[in-house]
Structure 1
Amino acid sequence: MRASIRQGYEGVAVAVPVTVPYSRHSEHPVQWWIGQALRKLCEESGISKDQIDGLSLSSFTLAPDGPAAMTQHLGLSPRWVDGIAMGGASSLVGLRRAARAVQAGDATIVACIGADINKPGAFRDLVTSFSRFSQDAAYPYAGAGPNGSFAMLTNHYMRQFGATAGDFGKLAVSQRLNAGSNPIALLKDPLTIDDYLRSRLIADPLRLFDCVMPCSGAEAYLVMHSVTAEALGIDYAVLLSAIERHNAFPKDEIQTRGGWQVDSQELWDMAGVSHTDIDVVQTYDDYPVISMIQFEDLGFCAKGEGPEFVRNHTFTTNGSFPHNTSGGQLSTGQAGAAGGHLGTVELLRQILHKPLGEQTKECATGLVSGFGMINYDRGLCTAAAILTRSES
């Protein structure tokens, strides 16, 4: 067996969480949203864009431009550029790579940005050409798009582990309560469990409030060395650990577990903390079932115990298990690849005690996880990270 030699993330600082407020549709191109995110990063950090020498960019709607072309649009001259095309896992994969670039000295300050736009018909165009699988094996048979895929995954999970619609509804209702204090959440009207259960079926067993609303927006943050952050007077969080895994458990006929399960012990061992040290959790939540799977695979409960875990906890900002405290994608909206950055940005805000909405009490350490690139029977990309507030 090959020995595993894994360097930790000592000295890596994550800072300056920013959001360009979402809108249902956009009259601006995605380049505008990326530029607004960069402007906010500079304004809130007090640095000039000339000091940013690394760019990590994730977007489904950037074509025909790529990350290198964006450097000209933005007037940047970085020495390190990365494009992360992994959907909801992009933020955390980008965070890992940016952290390694900072540790190696390949970049001093990296801007990590996720942005996408939504125009009438754009989401349909995206899902029909999302992958070769979508083009050849799903769309021709009227199966393109995530609703059908996650209906199958949700139905299978319910039959195998006894989850009920009420269990998924509890997560959706909790996130809507969290969104109530978030000024930029698109969906803030009160939602009760009865509202959830009475909502129309979209793709059985998925109901209306199981599904995210596509929108336009951008999320971003900076990665640098802690020495750099302190020299610039920037408040920051420390990256304790991070993992990623792709195409885990390929022999599973239908996904009920993800790559988090393979690497979660490394995540906890590298961080040097336990589950009880976590003050807030941000999971990728395009549908409630995937949040439940993340609770299990990250070790907050055993496989198949997700439904009981949900029944035994409250998930509001100051509940017994604070979760998706911005409202998550289910209530804030899903701005394409920016949706994968939403949890990272919200975790930073909570740790730094700079939330847009309600602050989780005594929040110092948190976990964020990502999930992306869905083929019909599974998602291929998984990632997670643990961050804590700097004591300096």
Structure 2
Amino acid sequence: MRRRLSYEGLALAVPVTVPYQRYSTHGAHWFIGRAMHALLAQSGLSRQQIDGLTVSSFTLGSDTAVGVAQHLGLSPRWLDHIPTGGASGVMALRRAARAVQAGDAEIVACVAGDTNQPDTFAHTLNHFADFARDASFPYGAGGPNAVFSLITTHYMRRYGATREDFGRIAVAQRNNAMHNPNALLRQPLDMQQYLEARPIAEAIHLFDCVMPCAGAEAFLVMRAEQARDLGLPHVLLRGAIERHNAYADDPVMERGGWRMDRDDLYAQADVQAGDIDLIQTYDDYPVIVMMQFEDLGFCEKGEGPDFVRRHGLDFAGSFPNNTSGGQLSCGQAGAAGGFIGVTETIRQLTGQAGSRTVAQARLGMVCGFGMVTYDRCLCTGAAILEKAA
């Protein structure tokens, strides 16, 4: 196995969620600005102490991270713009951690935010990826529902998954969301309602789909000793991986890049899959959640359906997944969807998760998944976070 510098002594702190809105007249800058304001207010830091910044967003238009820095009155000495959607949260924490480790920054603010107006989602799709647009739009299949219809039906035919198996994921997450005041969808959802929901595309029904919305997520990365000196509840970064364009030879996606690097991830953290107390999978559609269970070693490929039948997936169950409710019940605030798992894990491991707290949790895993084109995802990542002593 290749040698990798450890992440020892690096911390994540101050989880921020700017309340989600189904639609908003505010732009992405407003949501990102509100997130930065909350980071400063909750940490007690000044703007001058934030000397690193990562920004993730789909709706900044032609602007970039440096424009955000100017508009927020920041002067960072380290800066990164990470336009990888659902993978951006894990990628942001990895890059920020390495910047702090190298001395390029002391405190990095990792921020993601997007707006949502009636035409925002269509505009994003039209400008998301030329390849995906040109390959699918002529057939009337633009957008992610068609992509994940293809992936879901392929997985069901190959591995025998049923709609009830995917429903177990969605229903458990809705139960979690009912304990999360930030979630947009907090009405009860049972299996019958899930199964009877209107169809969207073959095998995909209403509650399999995320709801686009506006909002922001953010957190800080710094040295653990600095977090202690500042009196900030924090978690420790034990390991992190990312992979791009994995398994390109698969005719239709059924494996993600997590599978290539999971041994490295567990080796970095010096733990095994069975040691993980809770997981935040990227959940734009239930089939991808199931793939993450398999590709990260909690069960073998094709055993995902049986795995969800044997485990309780809500915060009080035997395998807590997406304890905030995830995107399926909180909403998908654009690129902030890649951050919601990070902020939720920080909350869980620092005693800030309220009534949805996973009892005696010490280790949490966060997964990222982003930039889907036609029939597969291009960017994946995962990180393991540990409760600080």
Q: Secondary structure at the match of 2:40?
A: helix
Give, in whole Å, the separation in 2 of the partners of 1:357 and 1:220.
22
Give, in whole Å, the separation in 1 of the partners of 2:203 and 2:133.
25
- Tell me the residue number matched to 1:139: 137
Q: Percent identity?
A: 55
Pairing partner for 1:307 from 305, 318, 323:
305
Structure 1 residues 357 and 114: alpha-carbon distance in aligned structure 2, compared to 1, 3 A threshold: farther
Q: Secondary structure at the match of 1:212?
A: coil
1:40-59 matches, cutoff 5 A: 40-59=38-57
Alignment of 1:375 with 2:373, yes or no, is: yes
Deviations 1:177-233 (A, max 9, x none): 000011111001110100000111100110100000000000000000112112211
The Cα shift of 1:135 comes to: 3.1
Give, in whole Å, the separation in 2 of the partners of 1:105 and 1:350.
29
- Tell me the residue number matched to 2:100: 102
Give, in whole Å, the separation in 1 of the partners of 2:220 and 2:125.
30
- Tell me the residue number matched to 2:75: 77
Q: Secondary structure at the match of 2:339?
A: helix
The Cα shift of 1:134 comes to: 2.7
Give, in whole Å, the separation in 2 of the partners of 1:126 and 1:284.
20
The Cα shift of 1:356 comes to: 5.1
1:26-45 matches, cutoff 5 A: 26-45=24-43
CA contact (8 A) 2:174 2:189 kept: yes
Q: Secondary structure at the match of 2:261?
A: helix
CA contact (8 A) 2:87 2:369 kept: yes
Give, in whole Å, the separation in 2 of the partners of 1:146 and 1:136.
14
Deviations 1:101-126 (A, max 9, x none): 00000000000011011100110111
The Cα shift of 1:18 comes to: 0.7
Pairing partner for 1:259 from 257, 260, 265:
257
| Large movers: runs of 4+ above 4 Å | none
Give, in whole Å, the separation in 2 of the partners of 1:376 and 1:356.
39
Pairing partner for 1:187 from 167, 185, 188:
185
Give, as a single letter, the amino acid of the residue that structure 2 aligns with 1:63.
G
Pairing partner for 1:63 from 51, 61, 64:
61
Give, in whole Å, the separation in 2 of the partners of 1:135 and 1:200.
26
Q: Secondary structure at the match of 1:337?
A: helix
Give, in whole Å, the separation in 2 of the partners of 1:127 and 1:306.
30
Q: Secondary structure at the match of 2:379?
A: strand
| Structure 1 unpaired stretches of 5+ | none
The Cα shift of 1:57 comes to: 0.5
Deviations 1:75-118 (A, max 9, x none): 00000000001110001011101000000000000000110111
Deviations 1:109-153 (A, max 9, x none): 000011011100110111122101133222233221000000000
- Tell me the residue number matched to 2:168: 170
Bigger CA drift: 148-157 or 64-73? 64-73
Structure 1 residues 381 and 357: alpha-carbon distance in aligned structure 2, compared to 1, 3 A threshold: farther
CA contact (8 A) 1:257 1:293 kept: yes
Give, in whole Å, the separation in 1 of the partners of 2:127 and 2:141.
12
Q: Secondary structure at the match of 1:154?
A: helix
Q: Secondary structure at the match of 2:356?
A: coil
Q: Count matched residues.
A: 389
Give, as a single letter, the amino acid of the residue that structure 1 aligns with 2:160.
G
Alignment of 1:349 with 2:336, yes or no, is: no
Alignment of 1:287 with 2:285, yes or no, is: yes
The Cα shift of 1:340 comes to: 0.6
- Tell me the residue number matched to 2:237: 239
The Cα shift of 1:273 comes to: 1.2
The Cα shift of 1:5 comes to: 2.7
CA contact (8 A) 1:87 1:372 kept: yes
Q: Secondary structure at the match of 1:159?
A: helix
Pairing partner for 2:198 from 197, 200, 208:
200
Give, as a single letter, the amino acid of the residue that structure 1 aligns with 2:253.
Q
Q: Secondary structure at the match of 1:301?
A: coil
Deviations 1:263-285 (A, max 9, x none): 00000011011222211110000
- Tell me the residue number matched to 1:125: 123
| Structure 2 unpaired stretches of 5+ | none
Give, as a single letter, the amino acid of the residue that structure 2 aligns with 1:161.
Y
Deviations 1:249-305 (A, max 9, x none): 111110000000000000001101122221111000000000000000000000000
The TM-score, its normalising length taken from structure 2, stands at 0.99
Q: Secondary structure at the match of 1:191?
A: coil
Pairing partner for 1:220 from 218, 221, 227:
218
- Tell me the residue number matched to 1:17: 15
CA contact (8 A) 2:273 2:296 kept: no
- Tell me the residue number matched to 1:87: 85
Q: Secondary structure at the match of 2:334?
A: coil
Give, in whole Å, the separation in 1 of the partners of 2:142 and 2:78.
36
Give, in whole Å, the separation in 1 of the partners of 2:110 and 2:386.
19
